[in-house]
């Protein structure tokens, strides 16, 4: 299975880049499954249902969220009917929405997608490790599902790497989001799981994690209520990771980083 994962879509520039470029990218990469993180799509904060619909129309199969999951309240009733949008699985029991989704491709192959949030330097939540373990056990890789993707929405590289190594061999791809800068450590781990500490955001990189740099920098200089943060409006770079898996095992055969458009150096997986 050929899987494209794109990191946090930030604001209008991120949304426009996705809807403009994803149809072409999906065809060029012959992608079977496209997963995007949408937690910052709405002006940096949350995801509105009409944005999710536009992402699906452009060729997205599953949308993951994160700490900004509920910033646009309209998403809460939407998640009751649209199970292709998933919020972190380790939100406490009783929280609206679901933490995973099994996508069924046109040819019948199945792909499990899990969204989980880290706890280091983030909100106190249920144990992300036990939550992912339980979900992966419910959908054994290479048997119940042909692929499994885990979006680890976390601040600390250490926690994301711990997640990668803990579930090496049990997922096709474990990829980090939330820090909004692509790391260069994409690799296939010893047990066959593709891993990348952060996919990077899909947003304008002339910014501070996607937000206009002046107001965002001022927050570090002065202890006064800053200007309201707004997304930077230049052309976005779509950032993510691309994986080809073996359907028999669900493990990764090839992994490559992707950076398309905007100001970052360009990179297209060559397989």
- Which residues make up the interface to Fe ion (CB under 5 A)? 8, 40, 66-67, 178
**178 has catalytic annotation:** no
For residues 176 and 269, which CB has a smaller minimum distance to Fe ion in the complex? Answer: 176
Q: How far is the CB of 166 from Fe ion (least distance, A)?
A: 21
Give the phi and the psi of residue 101 in degrees, each rounded to 5.
-150, 140
223 within 8 A of 201, measured Cβ to Cβ: no
- In the complex, what is the shortest distance from the CB of residue 117 to Fe ion, in angstroms, rounded to a whole number? 8
Give the helix/strand (H/E) hosting 36: strand 33-37
Nearer to Fe ion, 66 or 240 (CB): 66
**CB–CB of 54/27 below 8 Å?**
no
Integer Cα distance of 37 and 41 in angstroms = 9
Nearer to Fe ion, 141 or 154 (CB): 154
Rg (CA), the chain: 17
Contact 144, 110 (CB under 8 A): yes
Name which of 10, 12, 9, 34 is nearest 22 in CA terms. Answer: 34
The sign of the torsion formed by the CA atoms of 175, 176, 181, 183 equals negative
Least distance from C-beta 254 to Fe ion, angstroms?
A: 27
* Annotated active-site residue in 43, 68, 83, 153: 68
For residue 236, the minimal CB distance to Fe ion (Å) is: 13
Closer by beta carbon to Fe ion, 55 or else 141: 55
> What amino acid positions are annotated as catalytic residues?
68
């Amino acid at each position: 299975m050929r899987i494209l994962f794109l990191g946090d879509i930030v604001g209008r520039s991120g949304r426009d880049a996705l809807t403009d470029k994803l149809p072409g990218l999906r065809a060029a990469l012959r992608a079977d499954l496209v997963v995007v993180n949408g937690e910052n799509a709405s002006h940096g904060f949350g995801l509105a249902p009409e944005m999710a619909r536009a992402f699906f129309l452009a060729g997205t199969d599953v949308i993951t969220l994160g700490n900004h999951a509920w910033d646009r309240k309209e998403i809460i009733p939407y998640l009751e009917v649209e199970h292709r949008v998933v919020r972190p699985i380790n939100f406490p029991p009783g929280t609206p929405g679901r933490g995973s989704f099994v996508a069924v491709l046109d040819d019948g192959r199945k792909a499990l997608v899990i969204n989980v949030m880290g706890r280091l330097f983030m909100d106190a939540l249920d144990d992300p490790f036990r939550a992912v373990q339980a979900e992966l056990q419910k959908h054994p890789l290479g048997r119940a599902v042909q692929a499994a993707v885990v979006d680890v929405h976390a601040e600390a590289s250490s926690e994301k790497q711990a997640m990668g190594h803990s579930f090496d061999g049990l997922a096709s791809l474990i990829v980090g989001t939330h820090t909004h800068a692509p790391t260069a450590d994409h690799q296939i781990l010893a047990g066959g799981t593709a891993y990348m500490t952060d996919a990077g955001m899909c947003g304008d990189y002339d910014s501070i994690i996607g937000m206009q740099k002046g107001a965002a920098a001022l927050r570090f200089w002065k202890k006064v209520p800053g200007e309201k943060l707004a997304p930077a409006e230049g052309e976005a770079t779509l950032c993510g990771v691309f994986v080809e898996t073996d359907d028999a095992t669900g493990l990764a055969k090839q992994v490559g980083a992707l950076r398309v458009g905007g100001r970052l150096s360009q990179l297209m997986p060559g397989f």
